[in-house]
């Protein structure tokens, strides 16, 4: 596993390749290389069973590919915590150095660093730190009604009720999308959410109880 391969895996992950197929073109643009180079790297990673491939559609990470991506992100984020918390880096400075260090860190080093930092849960950007084994920590899910005004969250689970799902679709609320709670009506208890595209959605209190969410970093 070379730094290059690691970065390739990471790029797939960051484009969403843990659950959807990422096209050749997207990757080529993200990495600033030609599409042909992407194909070439794909064949290498395919051999190692780190990605799965749908011809002419693109690639996504296999379970072991996801594991590697998460372990790399774990290293990256633990370093970020160290740089920010112990070395006084500004939050916008941490990324570059963490990007170098993540490829030069033994497991032992990362675990000791993790202990030294008191096992942080989030990096300075609010990103969650994956587990040692490459899995993602159990993320708590709780009703949208428990969110405080101004907080950012992601929709994790919704009640499997046809009418309710239609209601959500009509409102434009989608699973795994992120929103910010901007207001709660004092009388009706209806919630005003702002989505990533800055549109505002008003949700009734009854619906809010059935939407499970989790905190998320603002980025």
Partner DNA sequence: TAGAATAAAAAGGATGGACTTAAAATGACA
Partner DNA sequence: TGTCATTTTAAGTCCATCCTTTTTATTCTA
Interface residues with DNA (CB under 7 A) are: 2-5, 23-26, 28, 32-44, 53, 55-58
Question: In angstroms, what is the minimal distance from the CB of 49 to DNA?
Answer: 16
Q: Which residues bind a copy of itself (CB under 8 A)?
A: 83, 86-89, 93, 96-97, 100-101, 103-106, 108-109, 112-113, 115-116
- In the complex with a copy of itself, the residue whose CB is nearer, 66 or 71, is 71
CA distance 174 to 147: 17
CA distance 13 to 69: 7
Would you say 211 and 141 are in contact if contact means Cβ atoms under 8 Å apart? no
Question: In angstroms, what is the minimal distance from the CB of 175 to DNA?
Answer: 22
CA distance 184 to 202: 9
Q: What does 69-121 look like in DSSP terms, one character per residue? A: HHHHHHHHHHHHHHHHHTS---TTTHHHHHHHHGGG--HHHHHHHHHHTT--S
> What's the token pair of residue 163?
């009418």
Q: Which does 197 bind (CB under 5 to 8 A by kind): a copy of itself, DNA, none?
A: none
Q: Which does 24 bind (CB under 5 to 8 A by kind): a copy of itself, DNA, none?
A: DNA
Which three-class secondary structure state does DSSP give residue 198? coil
- In the complex with DNA, the residue whose CB is nearer, 36 or 100, is 36
Tell me which DSSP letter residue 127 carries. Answer: P
Q: Which does 198 bind (CB under 5 to 8 A by kind): a copy of itself, DNA, none?
A: none
Q: Which does 210 bind (CB under 5 to 8 A by kind): a copy of itself, DNA, none?
A: none
CA distance 190 to 145: 10
Q: Which does 209 bind (CB under 5 to 8 A by kind): DNA, a copy of itself, none?
A: none
Selection from 85, 87, 93 nearest residue 129 by Cα: 85
- In the complex with a copy of itself, the residue whose CB is nearer, 35 or 113, is 113
- In the complex with a copy of itself, the residue whose CB is nearer, 2 or 198, is 2
Question: In angstroms, what is the minimal distance from the CB of 125 to DNA?
Answer: 26
- In the complex with a copy of itself, the residue whose CB is nearer, 104 or 209, is 104
- In the complex with DNA, the residue whose CB is nearer, 35 or 109, is 35
Selection from 204, 164, 198 nearest residue 178 by Cα: 198
């Amino acid at each position: 596993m070379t730094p290059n391969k690691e970065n390739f895996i990471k790029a797939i992950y960051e484009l969403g390749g843990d659950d959807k197929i990422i096209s050749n073109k997207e990757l080529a643009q993200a990495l600033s290389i030609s599409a042909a180079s992407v194909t070439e790297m794909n064949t290498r990673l395919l051999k190692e069973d780190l990605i799965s491939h749908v011809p002419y559609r693109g690639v996504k990470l296999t379970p072991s590919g996801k594991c590697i991506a998460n372990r790399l992100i774990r290293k990256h984020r633990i370093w970020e915590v160290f740089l920010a918390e112990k070395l006084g880096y500004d939050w916008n400075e941490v990324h570059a150095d963490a990007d170098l260090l993540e490829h030069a860190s033994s497991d032992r080093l990362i675990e000791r660093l993790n202990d030294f930092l008191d096992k942080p849960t989030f990096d300075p950007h609010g990103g969650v730190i994956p587990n040692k084994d490459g899995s993602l920590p159990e993320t708590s899910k709780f009703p949208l009604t428990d969110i405080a005004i101004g907080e950012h969250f992601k929709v994790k689970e919704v009640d499997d009720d046809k009418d309710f799902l239609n209601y959500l679709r009509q409102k434009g609320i989608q699973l795994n999308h992120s929103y910010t709670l901007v207001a709660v009506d004092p009388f009706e208890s209806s919630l005003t959410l702002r989505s990533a595209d800055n549109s505002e959605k008003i949700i009734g209190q009854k619906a809010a109880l059935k939407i499970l969410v989790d905190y998320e970093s603002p980025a």
